[in-house]
Each structure stands twice: as structure tokens, then as C-alpha cells.
Structure 1
Amino acid sequence: MSQQLINHNTDIHTLQNEGYEVEIKGGYICIHHIPYVNFEKEIKYGTLFSPYQTVPGSDVIAKPSDHVMHFIGEKPCHTDGKPILAIEYQNRQILSKDFIADFSFSNKPKNAFENFYDKFTSYIRVISYEAISLDETGTVTAKTFKPVIITESETPFVYLDSNSSRARIDFLNEKLTGMKIAIIGLGGTGSYILDLVSKTPVSQIHLFDSDTFESHNAFRFPGAASVDDLTGRIQKVEYLSGIYSKMHRGIVPHCEIISKLNISELDNMDFVFICIDRNDARNLITKYLLSKEIPFIDAGLGVNIQNEKLVGATRISYNQQVGSEYNEVAENQYNSNIQIAELNMFNATQAVIKWKQHYGFYNGQLNQASSHFIIEKSKIFHDEN
């Protein structure tokens, strides 16, 4: 966020020039010092706020996505102390840690609001008219002529997550803020986990893999790699870091596998995703994480050909020891060279949903030790602790 946001938007400029007390913070436009009348027929001051989005690749604010306005304060009333029913919509609503609406208003115009100047002034007129009518001093006004405040919020994102503010789930995303996440193994499943986790406000995402990015990876990774990406012979973690750093600042590549020599690098992680084939490595890592009480999910995928069709399963194991001291490839039903993008994606989605359940983003039973999706049955089975 910068002064450019004001410079490129005449509606914000106009609000500022007319003297409204504007603040821009965390995906919301706010106007403070809005006079209103409460139940006791007293003149009070509150705050109106609304989420906004920018036009991709610019500092231009898009048109308001709806006509709803949020308010911090007591319920606005007429001069006789009776609520202004024409704008009533919804009571208390948590939008983020910084924005808790005491009330939300709905006063739909004949035509959609073209800009935020129109949206704010429409609600200010309705609410403030009553307070100004009650005022005998001639000093009650929403126009304080204070400078626009642009609050830089600490965020790992390169650009604003306007999707969360628009969906009013910022308060849920805050449960993931500041975390350090490790993804061990950046094959098909691990790369899709990165794709999903990179869209959350965790502070860092550490990528552990020593393999080179090759054409078979491209066909089970998110997105579309170019020929130049493949002929460059770069490491998988370097390729993925380059892609996702365009969106998330905290991508940290490690061109190495986890072994006894470097497993202590996981000590500072808040959560770990394990997406590797080797049973002995799984055994080492899961035992270590359990001893350190670091929560984790181990993801596995096993697909085989049977009667000229694919059969198999995806699996996630949650906070439990997985693997053995030997790399028992032949006996490991989740170890297979057959990798299909949609199954990798599905396996990653299972893992990320479970991770979010762990931190209370989604509702769910935390006693589920593992989940298995059986392809031929199209069913998910859960094992409980």
C-alpha cells in the first residue's frame, strides 16, 4: 500500500478533499468520526468501513462489489431514539482482528454504486442527517479534514488478499498468520500443497527437495512450465520458489533432502508436510517430529494398473509415526511411479484441509489419525486414534 493508491483514485481523493477522516488498512477503506444518534438521543461518533479490491496489476480501486456497509458504534437512530430501519441488515460480525462490525447496513441504490465516494456519502447522509438535525451548536460534522491514514499491515503477500476481505474471512486466515511451514518432497503432491499454502498468510514456507525439475514433473505440477523452464536444468525448489515468490514473500528453497545430518532444520517449524516415497526417510522424519512435538501430515499416493484401468488410493496420516527403518518399496502400497495430476491435487487438498482443521480454520474431528480415498470405490475412509 502506498500514496499511489490515493493518487490513482479520484473517489478517495474526493473524500479526502471534502474533509472526511479516511483510513485505508488491511483491505478496507474506513471513514471515522461519523456522527449519529443513539437510543438515548445522544450524538455519538462511529466508523463506517467497506472492503475493497484493486484492478489487477494496478493501484486503481475497482468498483464496490456490493452495497453493504459495516459500522463500528451503537445502533444509529432517528432523532426520537428509534432505530433507522431502512438500513438495518445484520448485527455483530467479525471480519478480521482489526475489523469487528457492530452492525452491517444494507441500503441498496437504484443503480449499483459506481465508486466508494458514492457508497460512503450515501450512508453518511442517512446516518449523520439525524445527528445534525439534533445538534444545536452547529459543530456536528463528519468532516474533520484530517489527513488520509494508510496503515501498512505486515503481510507475507506481494499484493493484497482482497479475496479474503471480500469473503469476510480475514479473521479465519489470521489463525494461520506468522507460521513457519516445511514441505518435504516437492513432487506432484508437495507442489500442490505449496500452491495451496502459498495462498495463506503463513510467514515462511520452506521447501526441501534435491531433485532437478524435469518434464515428468511438469505434467504433475500446478500451472504450465515452458520449454525454457525445463531446458534450464534447475532444481525443483528453485523453479517453484521463482513461481510462488511472485505472490508470497516467504518462500525459502532448500536444495537438499532431510537426513540425520540436517533434520534439526525442522526444529523451528510450526507444521510439516511430508510428501516423499522412501519408507526409511518417512520413519526417520515422523519419529523425530513426534519427539519434538511438531505437528505434521504425511501424504501418500499409490496407483496401479488392473484390468486396463487404474486403481489405488491416496492417504494422509496425521501426527502418527509412518514408515519403517528400511525402504521397503515392494511392500509399500503408497509407493508407485504412476502419478496423476488430479490425484496429486486431491491428496494435497486432503492434507491442507486437515492442516487447517488442526488450527481451527475448518471445523473437524482432530482424532482422525488417517484418511484414505479409494479410487475404485470413490469413498474416503478414516482411522481414528
Structure 2
Amino acid sequence: MLSTLLDYNKDLELLIKKGYALSIDSNYLVVRDIPYIDDKGQLQIGAIVSVLVFVNQRQIKMQDHQIFFCGSHPHELGGTPIRNLGGGGTKLNLISDDLVVQRSFSNKPRGGFKNWFDKIESYVEIISGPAIAKFEANPFTFRVVDESSNSVFKYRDTLTSRAEIGDLNNKFELDTIAVIGLGGTGSYLLDFLVKTPVKEIKGFDLKRFHVHNAFRSPGKLEEEELGKLKSEVYKKRYENFRSEVNIYSKYIDSDSIKDLEGVTFAFVCVDKGDSRSEIFELLIKMEIPFIDVGMGLDREMGSISGTLRVSSFSKESARSLMQKKLAPLTDIPDDVYKNNIQISELNALNACLAIIKYKQLRGFYADDNSYYHMLFNIDELNCLGENGKN
């Protein structure tokens, strides 16, 4: 990544040529080997960390004049803390084990910084000046830092670094997720998961993509997509965004053990009760935790009312919860939903509730109620849930 950026960002190239040990970590520019004096007058080596803002895949800019620092507060030759370094103690989770952010600094010259070269040079002069004078320390090590990345994304995830939630996003990186059924709710779930750093996404749907699908799925409609298999449509839609999105033109049934090998979590998004029952049995047999979604809609008084459902089945409780019949395991006669009412916002909301529950299970979101079964009432816009305390 850094070598590519150097071709299109001359200010970074100037830093490399001067000898700074540059690397990229979690969408931050890192400058290692920064000498400074600690509160005991001893020489220490820290690192400067600063947020990268990607204009595109090749060009970057500074977010602001501030930096993070791996190290304690630098001191002057006389033993006093260096002044004019605003900020304070903070933490930041980075991939590299040798980078432990302890502080943030803010020192903005009049007129600001013109580019990355000016910014790093200014902070190094302030932080390292005393250490260079006392110990003849050298921040220009010309060190090459291995910055190999195993990210599934083909674009830098700058949202995560801006929000400083990299440690939380790391909770998903070992998951292989199955989305069984890519109808309205399933297609929105797929879209949300594509932007989540899970190791792999497996989607399953045998049907073809028609106009009515476009009205209850994310993204724009390309005329050439109509009539194609959903597996082709969604595979192409996301192939430029990330790797390991594998969509298969098949149904999941009791004989689909090989298709789900390696899956650590599943979303069941089917509208046939009989199919749901068979899928549940397979997932329970394979000890794969899963979330099932659904909606029950009625049109009795001219307008549509009803509920959205999210039911979570852990490996330990799946069998007992299935016996509770929280999700329909047989087909419902005269189900309004089978008339293909186009309600994209309900599909999206059902997917939102499901992905939030999954992320609660992984510790990304707080979960005060620990609901394993939740109903969202459209009429009153409220949620009811069941947990082990009910």
C-alpha cells in the first residue's frame, strides 16, 4: 500500500527520501524511530501516528493538524515537559504489536500545515529536538517496516479509523457468514455484511433477479441484471468492493453439509416454513449459531400493519428454541407477504435489526436485554423481546 501511495503523494516520498521509517497501519500514517527524552532524562524511542484521509485509492490528505504518539510526554533538556503540545492521554488500537498509542498532541502553526512533509517535520523538531541535541539521536533510520495487510477490503476502510473502532471491528475477522436466501431482507443483510470485515460471506439463492427484486434490494438497477441468476448479480455488484463474497445458485437443505463447512454464523432469510424447518435442522446438526428473520403483514383496514421478527439461536439453545416455534416451521395459508408487496424499508429494517443482534453477540454493540427473540411492531414503532429472564 505504501509503495503505491508514494507514486501519487510526493510529500510522502519526501519523507521516505529523508529517512523516516514510514508505514501504514489501520489507515493511519505511522512514523517510527522518533527519539525523545522522558521525565528521567533518558532517551526513549516513540512513534508518530496520524489519521489518513483517502481522496481515492491512490491519493491521501491530512484530516487535521493533530497526531497520536506512542510514548510518554517528551521533555526538554532541563527536565520540564515540552510545552505547546496540547492533547492528553488516549488509547488507539492498531494492528502492529509494537505500536502502543499513549497520547495525542495538537500543535498547529499559523496557517496550518501545507502537506504531510511539513506536518511530520514540525512535530519531529518539537518532540525530538532535545534528544537530538543531548544524545545525537537520529530519527532518520531509513528503516523499511513490513506492512503486509490481510484486509478483505479493496478500498481502505477509512470509516473505521475515523471513528477509532478498529478494535471492535476486529471481533468479526474470523467469521465466515452464510446468508441463506437473498430476497428482500437477505439482500440488505448481504449489503451490510459486505461492509463488515468478516473473513468470508457465503450467499445462497437459486432464483433469478427480476424487476420486483430491484424494488426491495439495495443498490441501483442495471438493465442487464434482469433475468440473471441472483448469484451472478450480487457477485458482480460487490466484486470491486471486497474479496471473499461467494454467492451460490442453490438452495440449502438437509443435504447441504458441504456447502456450510467452515461457516461460523448464519442468517436464515426464507419465507417458506417447510424450508426453514429443514435449514434449522441442518444448522443445529452442524452446531452453527444463526439468526432467523421474518415479517407478518396484514392489510385489513386499507393500510398495512404487522411485525418484523428477529430470532437468535445459539448452539446451546437452538433445539429448545426451535421447539418453542418462535419462527414458522410450516407454510402459512393466505400470507399477505407471499403476494410480493414491495416494501423495501421493512426489508431493510428487518436486516438492520438482525445485523445489530449479530454484532451484539460478537460484542460490538452493547446488549442490556440479551433478547433471543424480538418483535418490532410497525403500527406503534416499538420493540418487544424475550430473554432468559422473561
Same fold (TM over 0.5): yes
* Percent of aligned pairs with the same amino acid: 34
Q: Secondary structure at the match of 1:172?
A: helix
Task: Quote the residue 2:116 is aligned against.
Answer: 116
Task: Quote the residue 1:218 is aligned against.
Answer: 214
Q: Secondary structure at the match of 2:151?
A: coil
Does 179-188 or 65-74 show the bigger shift?
65-74
Residue type of the alignment partner of 1:239: V
Is residue 2:1 matched to residue 1:5? no
Residue type of the alignment partner of 2:53: Q
Residue type of the alignment partner of 1:82: T
When the two structures are aligned, how many residues end up with a matched partner? 377
Any idea what the Cα deviations from partners look like across 1:218-251, whole Å, max 9, x if unmatched?
Answer: 0111011122221xx2111220111011111111
Whole-Å separation in 2 of the counterparts to 1:86 and 1:54 = 29
Q: Secondary structure at the match of 2:168?
A: helix
Any idea what the Cα deviations from partners look like across 1:181-235, whole Å, max 9, x if unmatched?
Answer: 00000011111111111011111100100000000000111011122221xx211
Any idea what the Cα deviations from partners look like across 1:355-378, whole Å, max 9, x if unmatched?
Answer: 111111111147311111111111
Q: Report how far residue 270 of structure 1 moved.
A: 0.8
Task: Quote the residue 1:140 is aligned against.
Answer: 137
Spell out structure 1 runs of 4+ moving beyond 4 A.
Answer: 322-326, 331-336
What are the equivalent positions in structure 2 for 1:2-41 lying under 5 Å apart? Answer: 3-41=3-41
Is residue 2:372 matched to residue 1:369? yes
Q: Report how far residue 336 of structure 1 moved.
A: 6.1
Residue type of the alignment partner of 1:176: F
Whole-Å separation in 1 of the counterparts to 2:326 and 2:258 = 19
Any conservation in 1 of the 2:26–2:166 contact (CA below 8 Å)? no
Residue type of the alignment partner of 1:130: P
Sort the Cα spacing of 1:268 and 1:335 in 2 relative to 1 into closer, same or farther, 3 A: farther
Task: Quote the residue 2:79 is aligned against.
Answer: 81
Does 118-127 or 95-104 show the bigger shift?
95-104
Task: Quote the residue 2:316 is aligned against.
Answer: none
Identify unmatched segments of 5+ residues in structure 1.
Answer: none
1:271 pairs with one of 246, 265, 269 = 265
Sort the Cα spacing of 1:333 and 1:292 in 2 relative to 1 into closer, same or farther, 3 A: farther
Residue type of the alignment partner of 1:241: K
Identify unmatched segments of 5+ residues in structure 2.
Answer: 314-320
Q: Report how far residue 254 of structure 1 moved.
A: 1.0
Residue type of the alignment partner of 1:240: Y
Whole-Å separation in 1 of the counterparts to 2:64 and 2:362 = 31
Q: Report how far residue 83 of structure 1 moved.
A: 2.5
Residue type of the alignment partner of 1:60: Q
TM-score (norm 2): 0.90
Task: Quote the residue 2:55 is aligned against.
Answer: 55
Q: Report how far residue 37 of structure 1 moved.
A: 0.8
RMSD, aligned α-carbons: 2.2
Any idea what the Cα deviations from partners look like across 1:124-159, whole Å, max 9, x if unmatched?
Answer: 111112223333xxx322112335x46120111112
Q: Report how far residue 331 of structure 1 moved.
A: 7.8
Residue type of the alignment partner of 1:55: V
Task: Quote the residue 2:318 is aligned against.
Answer: none
Whole-Å separation in 2 of the counterparts to 1:339 and 1:366 = 32
Sort the Cα spacing of 1:282 and 1:114 in 2 relative to 1 into closer, same or farther, 3 A: farther
1:312 pairs with one of 306, 316, 320 = 306
Whole-Å separation in 1 of the counterparts to 2:109 and 2:355 = 41
Whole-Å separation in 2 of the counterparts to 1:327 and 1:261 = 19
Any conservation in 1 of the 2:71–2:100 contact (CA below 8 Å)? no
Any conservation in 1 of the 2:25–2:94 contact (CA below 8 Å)? no
Q: Secondary structure at the match of 2:355?
A: helix
Residue type of the alignment partner of 1:224: K
Whole-Å separation in 1 of the counterparts to 2:41 and 2:69 = 18
Does 192-201 or 318-327 show the bigger shift?
318-327
Whole-Å separation in 2 of the counterparts to 1:325 and 1:164 = 38
Q: Report how far residue 165 of structure 1 moved.
A: 1.4
Sort the Cα spacing of 1:18 and 1:324 in 2 relative to 1 into closer, same or farther, 3 A: closer
Sort the Cα spacing of 1:323 and 1:257 in 2 relative to 1 into closer, same or farther, 3 A: farther
